[in-house]
Every structure is written in C-alpha cells, then in structure tokens.
A and B are shown apart, each in its own frame.
Chain A
Amino acid sequence: MSIDSTAVSNQRPAIEFKSSTFAVPALIINSADLKEVNAKILQKIQQAPEFFKNSPVLLDIHSITTEQLDLKLAELIKLIRGHTLIPIALRGGHTELNDIALKSGLFIQPLQTLVDTDKPKTSAPPLETKKSPPASTDPGHPVALRSPIRTDRRTKDDGNAISRIITSPIRSGQRVYSEGDLIIMSQVSAGAEIMAEGNIHVYGSLRGRALAGVLGKLDSRIFCFDCQAELISIAGNYKVKDDLDPAIQHKPIQIYLQNQALIIKAL
C-alpha cells in the first residue's frame, strides 16, 4: 500500500515496495544422510538440467524435525548450492536450524496451516520436488494477508484445495483470492473483485467482478443469489454486464462453461 504519493512530481520514485507472488518449488528433505540426498539431487538434475539451473528452492525439512534426525544443515545448503540450485528459504526447522539458515542467507518460511494431504509415507523416496501451479494474478491486497511465497504441496485438481469462507461484505476496491473455492456469505460491492482457482458462491448480492477457475479449471462454476455482476469469468471466458441478459439481473443463477461458451442458468 502506498500512501506516500507525492502529488507534485510525476516522476517515478526511486524505489517502490509492492507485494508480489511467485511460485517456488519446494525441496522436501526426508533423509539426514547427505550422501543419499546428494545422489538423489544429482539424479533429478540429470533428468532436466535446464529446469534446475539457478532455480530457487525452498527447503522443507519438516519430516527431519518431526523424526528428530540430526541434519547438518550448513553442509546441506552448501551441497545444494553446489548443484546450481539457489536455496532461498527454510521451512519446518526448529530454532537452532532456523538460526543456521538465517546465517546462510535464507529466510524462514513458517509452516502453512494447510492439511497435509501428501504426507510422505515411509516408502516414499527421500527427496521429491514439485512445481506448484504458477500464480497468474497478483491478488493485490486481499482481505487477509497471504504469505508472500506460496509453495504448494497440493497438486492441481486434487479436490483438496482449501476453500475460503468470507462473512463480511467485500467493499469496492477490495480483492479477494482463494486457492480453492470461494464462499461469500455477504455482498460483493461494485468495484470489488473476487477470484478463485475453484468455484465461487455468493449468498448476498454480487455487484462486482467474479472470476472463477482463474488458473484454467474449466469445470469451475459461479453460483450467486442475486446477480448484478459487472463481470463474470470462468477460466478466462468472460462476459461484462452489457453482455448479460437483463432478465437474469437480481436473479439467483449459476454460470458454467460448455464448449467454450458461458452458460447462465436460473437456479
């Protein structure tokens, strides 16, 4: 948020802080045996050398900490850097390990309170990397702050995405983003924008913009109780208010995609 706008000069300020989101692969370490880890990293990199070259990674040592294994973190970081990966953050460490990480120039990413659906099984390989889906839109300043870097261990379309429920009105100028479904129990004002990777439900009046399936999920739907929307979009297919049939105004409707066409049906 910038409130220090200087009205007098039109020049761009020398620096600007803006919130932004980007996706980082998480490197999940399940073994404290550095030789084994080294071998596995090498194996992975050989599969796609260009993909891993200078790629930032987030180190997830959650299972090491839970199993209380003795991990030589400083050496691990050195090892990873040696493979042209750039470790930027640590997740799931305890205080001592966090200190080492900070000294090595990594920041500490708190463990997200998401339900871990892919908890590593005992037979799981000691190392896995998963690329999280790219964040296509910058959600600006959603009602609740999201962590600056999202590293999802969820795969796309796994049906376990976290839905968000919002009970207070979404006011003009506010933007809300959900990585799963978005359920609004109140109204969405004109000039507000709600976005979800999954479905959108609005149980009050929808006067703003609603964008479902923003990452391309074609079977996303929008349900609303009182449609007065400025714009509706499913997986990039959109209609503005002028294109909407006046007969559906103020009506409970659902919107879905069929053969690239938006279908609007009364409920």
Chain B
Amino acid sequence: MARIIVVTSGKGGVGKTTTSAAISMGLAKKGHKTAVIDFDVGLRNLDLIMGCERRVIYDLVNVINKEATLNQALIKDKRCDKLFILPASQTRDKDALHLEGVGRILEELSKDFEYIVCDSPAGIEKGAHLAMYFADDAFVVTNPEVSSVRDSDRMLGILASKSRRAENNEEPIREYLLLSRYSPERVRLGEMLSVADVQEILSLNLLGVIPESKSVLNASNSGVPVILDDKSDAGLAYADIIDRYLGINKPHRFIEEEKRSLFNKLFRSK
C-alpha cells in the first residue's frame, strides 16, 4: 500500500507546489516509486515546476471521467525514472473532481506506487478537501506570518475532522509542519514570526525550515525541482526534510543567521 501525502496550507502562495515538486523528486531519488498529482484544476502549475508542461496529453479530470487510463495520463519524469506526474486540467474547474473518482484513482495508484503526493490547491473548498480526504500524512506548508499561520491552523482543524481517517475513526492523519520562506535576519528585526512562535501557535511537529532563497524562483522558472540544486540552501533544506520524513535524524538548520567571520565583517559590507 502506498502512503498518501497531502501538501496543503490553506493560504495561497506559500510554496505548496514548490514543496510537492521537491519532495516527490526527493522521495523518487531515494529509490521510492512516487506519483505526484496536481489537484489545482483550473490553475495548473505543477507541470511547469516539474518542467514537463510540453508533454501533457491527458490530465486528472480525463482519468476521473474515464476518458483516459491512468497509464496514458501519467508523465514519467526525464530526470528520475521512479517519478510520475499526473497533471491537472487547465480548461476545467474544481467541480469536475468528485470523491468517488479521486478515491478510485488513488486506489489504483496505491497498487504500484510507494508514495503518492497530492498537491492541494489553496483554500478550503472542494479541491483542497478532495486532495486531503484520503491522506495518511499531511505536510502543512506555512510562511512565518500571522495570516498564513492562522490558515494553516484552520486547515489542521479540517484535517482532524473531515478526512477519511477522521470519518472512519481511524488513526488520525500524521501532521508535519514545513516552515517556508524563512529569513532569520528578518526574524531578528522583528519582521517575521520565529520558528518558536509558529510552533507555539500550531503545536506541531516541525519537519523542516526552508529558507527564503532566490534559487526557488530560478528553479521554478526553469522547471527543475529545487531539491535537484544541491548548491542552494533551499534544495538542501528539502533534502533534509526527506531524510527526516524517512526516519533519519538530522539536526535542523537555516533557523539561525549564518555567522559571518571577522574577515567577512571587515571586508564585506553585506
């Protein structure tokens, strides 16, 4: 049986799709057969970030409507043969999704994948609900600012009460906190909530902190999941997150400001 992971947040623009792309690539790179599904029907983005937008023929809605088989719609990643992408439809809206159809697809994928990553749309409406309904694990992506934290809190409430596991009284969804776009310098200046603040409000298991980084934008624009950029701190942060998720103990980094040596302080203005 596959483990179904939903990447969710409530709020938009916090890095759900970036995270979905990075963690699915990370899991596949570790040798786990992984599928990543874009649930953002109507605002299809995942294929762009994965760099496979020119190979999309069929999409999630086609499979739900039985106009195509899963194998026809799944796109195999060119960089990693363990990774498959199921894109969203750009020409439909979220009402094209329904519980029965999503359940059928996830069940079919569960037969030969180890991990299924569901990239949730923003909001708490139908698309987001369907993306999280069948999940076993939830990666809650949060930015260190109050509205994002509040929305994540709302999402956590929905995960705890409206998922399949909650409705069947099974073991609850495992929830993990991913704090993205974090800048220790701005925390010091009081412009951002600190890791401790966010954890106090959400009381959640911190899986990792992803620093604010230019490499994320570059990676998105060039269609390469940022985890493949092993020179960027964001890429390293996602690699750590995968390790921690798979049970390897790694100390948290990118929480403190980098210490500059005396030499740097003297000779570099910034």
Contact = CB atoms under 8 A, between A and B. Distances in A.
Contact of A171 (B95, B125, B126, B153): B153
B153 A172 contact: yes
Nearest to B126: A3
Contacts of A168: 160
A1 B125 CA distance: 10
Contacts of B222: none
Nearest to B159: A171
B190 interface: no
Interface stretch (A50-58, A150-158, A183-191, A231-239): A183-191
Contacts of B129: 3
B203 A191 contact: no
Contacts of B158: 171, 173
B161 A191 contact: no
B125 A172 contact: no
B203 A169 contact: yes
A187 B203 contact: yes
A4 interface: yes
A190 B156 CA distance: 13
B150 A190 contact: yes
A3 B158 CA distance: 12
Contacts of A172: 150-151, 153-154, 157
Interface string A173-208: 110000000000011011110000000000011010
A95 interface: no
Contacts of A174: 157, 160-161
Interface size class of B (residues with CB under 8 A): 10 to 19
B197 to A, nearest CB: 12
Contacts of B156: 169, 171
A10 interface: no
Interface in A2-24: 3-7
Contact of B157 (A3, A186, A192, A207): A192
A205 B153 CA distance: 14
Nearest to B98: A4
Contact of B125 (A3, A141, A186): A3
Nearest to A207: B201
B92 interface: no
B205 to A, nearest CB: 13
Given A1-B162, A5-B125, A141-B161, A171 B154 contact: yes
A125 to B, nearest CB: 41
A6 B94 CA distance: 10
A189 B153 contact: yes
Interface in B151-187: 151, 153-154, 156-158, 160-162
B157 A171 contact: yes
B161 A143 contact: yes
Contacts of B125: 3, 5
Contacts of A4: 95, 126
B162 A191 contact: no
Contacts of A1: 162
Given A3-B129, A191-B154, A171 B203 contact: no
Interface of A: 1, 3-7, 141, 143, 168-174, 186-187, 189-192, 204-205, 207
17 contacts: A1-B162, A3-B125, A3-B126, A7-B93, A141-B161, A169-B203, A171-B154, A171-B156, A171-B157, A171-B158, A172-B154, A172-B157, A173-B153, A173-B158, A174-B160, A191-B154, A207-B201
Interface of B: 93, 95, 125-126, 129, 150-151, 153-154, 156-158, 160-162, 200-201, 203
Given A4-B95, A187-B203, 9 more contacts: A5-B126, A172-B150, A172-B157, A173-B158, A174-B160, A189-B157, A190-B150, A190-B201, A191-B154
The 6 closest A-B pairs by CB, nearest first: A171-B157, A172-B153, A172-B154, A174-B157, A173-B154, A3-B126
